A and B are shown apart, each in its own frame.
Chain A
Amino acid sequence: MAGISRRALLAGIAASWAGGFPLKAAALPGPSAGPVSRIAALDWGIAATLVSLGVVPVGVPAPAWYARYVVDPVLPDSVVDVGLLFTPNFELLQALAPQLIVATPMLQQAAPMLQRIAPVYGTTLFQPAPDVLEIAEKATLGLADRIGAADAGKRLVDATRGELAATTERLSGQASIPLLVASPLDNRHVSLFGPDSLYGGVLRRCGLTNADTTIRGEFNIVGLEKLGAYGDATMILLDSPVMPGMAARLTENRLWRTFPFVRERRLHLLPAVLGSGGLPSAMRFSRLLTSALGEKGDAP
């Protein structure tokens, strides 16, 4: 039947993508303990995690935005656009006939309708908290377990820990340097990320220092001019997908050029990383951080 061959095909794509993850292609829709391969992922962090687990979701909302926000891991073109992030299209989802729908609590209101299509697994990969990474790990393991890929889940957690451990080691000489992580909102404001953000979690796990531990929640919106007050901090400036190139444009500003981290070449421009992207985003941030801090700062 068409459905099964398609499932086998997707499993094949998934296996080839995951680079050797042994993933059994299910010939028949098995019981809930068995592997689930046709999954609709209604959040970009969930989609990224699934891809990293070796399962390519059949449907994801607005994949074009996924490509700009998450970047890595890449979603294959086979993934169907199921509509907008907060209003996935029910009819289309039903036509995709997923075995499982994975969503965040943001879609709580739509849950009764989604349950008519397939069982809904709700998960929170990101929640601003001091143990933001532990939450992501736990949610990843739970998700992997639910789709019958518990081993892949453990491997993903181990891979993330390994990546972060490598970062810890390579940046051990910079453990005491206070780091600011920010992303421009416009030419006058930035989001300044606190210890409870995913980035803050990565810094903590890697033994690095967050320059501002007073921020509650994921981030504070602060005026650009306040950034100069962090005297000895090093700035990690994440590019924003909605303000492309803004990070670079800030450097034209005269006030910006007086900031200690600019004058002393402690400014690093990084490409976008999704703050709610779960372990794949934590790994991506850790990789980008290692390569940035391993070099000299960007020109002022």
Chain B
Amino acid sequence: MISTQDRLRPGPAIIVAVLFAAAIVSAAARISGLLPFQDWWQVLASPDLNSYTQVLVHDSVLPRFVIALVAGGVLGLSGVIFQQVLRTPLADPSTLGVSAGAYLALAVAGLWAPALASSARELIALAGGLSAFALVFLIAWPHRLAPISLILAGLVITFVCGAISAAVSLSYSMGMSGLFVWASGSLTQNDWSAVSRLAPCAVAGVLGAALLARPLNLLSLNDEGARSLGLSLSSVRLLSIVLAVMLAAFTVSAVGVIGFVGFAAPFIARASGARRLPQRMIASTIIGAILLLAADEALQQAANFMREIPAGAATGLFGAPLIAIFLGRLRIVETPAPPPTERRNQRPLLYLALTAALLALLIWISLSLGPSLSGWSFASPAKMQSLLVWRLPRLAAAAAAGILFALSGTIIQRMTGNPMASPEVIGVSTGAAVGILLLVLLAPAFTPLTQLGAAAAGAVVSLITVLLMARRSRYNPDHVLLFGIAINTAFAALIAVLLGTGLPKVYGVLQWMAGSTYSTTPMQAEIAVTVAIIALLIAPFFSRWLDLLPLGAPSSKALGLNISVSRTALLLLSAITAAAATLLIGPLSFVGLMAPHIARTLGFQRALAHMIAAAMAGAALTILADFIGRVALFPNQLPVGIVATLIGGPYFLWLMRKQVH
């Protein structure tokens, strides 16, 4: 049995070897174009400091070659450790928020301390990455660092960091190009400093990994099994995570965000026949190094006849489809979903009325209160007339988006039986965002209707992908989340690449991505409200299905439900509502997660009441977010999506905490 498992499958291994040979040939060809062969050794040992080509080869070509190998190897190693500790092949070095934290730190430093940001870039990125992880760690600690809580905490921190970075970059506007270059992971070098910083980390990482390999291997057993072997589970997990995070953080600080390598290398290692952890560690390190080197060599060769693309952007771009292929081959693990056990509300009407009253109060405050040049004031009824044209459309659009996200979230949570699922978390809104982004960047012209179409297409594609994947594991809640997170990561790489194109359109897209209701016209607001009302009117027809589906497939079938028809219809409804909401306030928010959950906490269990209460809660949340965004940094406007994320992130974490007890 073991011998067949350990048999080296030739396919992937040979491809990697060929890639390596091609990269070496390419690098040699480039160097021989610069230097005669007999000078190579002399240049390596002691370059003539007066000769541009000699110093170029010694201080740029060679360190770039080495940094590609070192960074790729470190990412491969870090990825394999992450996947082992988090017990999912869908984790990669950015899963625990390291890249997002580094990016945020650089954006903030660039805004408030540009001099510091330009002189201590690596340190700032390192500090940001490690701080983000520290937060993730603190959040997951009460859960004994359970893999799923680490991943979810990483997701929230990534979202929140992303929201703040987006807010910063919107105020920073033109100064962003430097940050975009960093985020797209350029391997360009002009001295050995990056190598000399990263190489010792790599050596330390390899030593650490060698020491941890054996105990870490036991982590692939389940918790009980590992504990019965007398292993201090948390300490092994802790050490391994810290090691993998350090490796990821140092790589990010040295070369920026390089996607996909840390995810793909362990996968290819496994596919080439490496089964046991020490083997996979060695193979993954080597494969990661070769992947990044080959990608960078290919890009440098391509730069002869086109504009040079940074390595990180390219690996992210080409990696995204591979992630999708890989997801289809994932092993199925089944764990039963826990039944929801929350108290049922005895007086639903009273609670609905209270929620409605709160909503009305919020609307009134939001419409009448605001700062101006002469300070804060409640507008008089006469003054209100002139202000209404500014405040009402954006409020209405925000409320409509809140309702739509809430409906979408309610459907997804009930369908998957997972209180942590939502259109944002499982990648549906990211899919919608990619649809719109592609439309804006590629199509010569677009109308609101084609935008909705593009958003809906993106949302449907990603939701179907997630659910197809999830179907194989019978909608295991954790799996749905993991698939969604993987899709989020893949799309996020794509978005980073599109932003990195530097086209002037990008800034407008950035504004929309941050989720702004800012320029909503009265007519657009009317359309948005109409769509929300239609969705509200349609939703009750699905309430029977939504009551039955959470009971599980066998019970609902016994009750006369056509599972696939009802699932498809619900899927479409949730994708379209999420797409419309994304179109209104962008992909970033936690409304689709929070609103259904708030409704549930208030005790609304039956589908119909759940949906109505969630819609009201969603509207209240987005109205509040829109209000805060309008007044908090007056005259600057914070997009509603960003504020909603800043409210929703902590809520999600609080929710996770509650689940411990």
Mark A residues whose CB is within 8 Å of B.
Answer: 62, 65, 69, 80-92, 94-95, 106, 109-110, 112-113, 116, 185-189, 191, 220-225, 228-229, 240-246, 249, 253-260, 263
Contact = CB atoms under 8 A, between A and B. Distances in A.
B190 A92 contact: no
A62 B635 CA distance: 10
Contact of B511 (A83, A87, A256, A259): A87
Given A188-B188, A189-B181, A254-B55, A223 B308 contact: yes
A81 B114 CA distance: 22
Nearest to B300: A223
B201 to A, nearest CB: 19
Contact of B508 (A86, A221, A242, A255): A86
Contacts of A62: 171, 173
A88 B171 CA distance: 11
A109 B181 CA distance: 27
Interface string B608-649: 000000000000000000000000001111000000000000
A258 B519 contact: no
Interface string B105-132: 0000010001101110100000000000
A198 to B, nearest CB: 14
B634 A89 contact: yes
Contacts of A222: 308
Contacts of B175: 240-242
A228 to B, nearest CB: 4
Contacts of A82: 635
B190 A255 contact: yes
Q: Is the interface of A mostly helix, strand, loop or mixed?
A: mixed
A83 B372 CA distance: 12
Contacts of B174: 69, 85, 242
A80 B373 contact: yes
B118 A246 contact: yes
Nearest to A85: B173
30 contacts: A69-B174, A82-B635, A83-B635, A83-B637, A86-B507, A87-B511, A89-B637, A91-B390, A92-B373, A92-B634, A94-B386, A95-B372, A112-B519, A113-B519, A185-B181, A187-B118, A188-B188, A191-B177, A221-B177, A221-B308, A221-B502, A223-B186, A242-B110, A242-B172, A242-B174, A243-B117, A245-B118, A246-B118, A255-B191, A263-B50
B591 to A, nearest CB: 21
Contacts of B49: 254, 257-258
Q: Chain B interface: which size bin?
A: 35 or more
A240 B186 CA distance: 20
A249 B119 contact: yes
Contact of B114 (A80, A116, A242, A254): A242
Contacts of A253: 190-191
B182 interface: yes
Contacts of A84: 170-171, 173, 636-637
Contacts of A244: 114-115, 118
B571 to A, nearest CB: 32
B360 interface: no
A259 B52 contact: yes
Given A84-B171, A91-B370, A95-B372, A254 B59 contact: yes
A30 to B, nearest CB: 24
A106 B390 contact: no
B389 interface: yes
Q: For B55, B373, B502, which residue has the most chain A Cβ atoms within 10 angstroms?
A: B55
Contacts of B308: 221-223
Interface string B371-390: 01100000000000011011
A196 to B, nearest CB: 13
Interface in B16-75: 49-52, 55-56, 59-60
A48 to B, nearest CB: 14
A221 B635 contact: no
Contact of A188 (B55, B189, B391, B637): B189
Given A84-B171, A90-B390, A241-B114, A109 B508 contact: yes
B114 A243 contact: yes
Contacts of A116: 389
A295 B171 CA distance: 38
A224 B635 CA distance: 39
Interface in B280-298: none
B552 interface: no
Contacts of B55: 254-255, 258
Interface string B441-482: 000000000000000000000000000000000000000000
A228 B56 contact: yes
Given A185-B181, A189-B186, A258-B49, A113 B521 contact: yes
B661 interface: no
B188 A189 contact: yes
B178 interface: yes
B159 interface: no
Contacts of A189: 178, 181, 186, 188
Contacts of A246: 118
From B56, B171, B519, B635, name the one whose CB has the most chain A CB atoms within 10 angstroms: B635
B44 to A, nearest CB: 15
Contacts of A187: 118, 121, 190
B135 to A, nearest CB: 26
A34 B85 CA distance: 73
Contacts of A259: 52
Contacts of B483: none
B516 interface: yes
A189 B178 CA distance: 8
Nearest to A260: B52
List of 9 A-B pairs having minimum Cβ-Cβ separation, nearest first = A242-B175, A223-B188, A225-B60, A89-B635, A83-B635, A185-B178, A110-B519, A228-B52, A243-B118
A215 B283 CA distance: 42
Nearest to B503: A217
B56 A242 contact: no
B385 to A, nearest CB: 12
Interface string B170-209: 1111110110011000101111000000000000000000
Given A84-B173, A87-B637, A223-B308, 5 more contacts: A81-B635, A90-B390, A106-B508, A225-B56, A242-B178
A86 B511 contact: yes
B545 interface: no
Contacts of A185: 177-178, 181
B518 interface: yes
Contacts of B391: 91
Contacts of A255: 55-56, 59-60, 190-191
A188 B190 contact: yes
A240 B173 CA distance: 14
A83 B190 contact: no
A85 B635 CA distance: 11
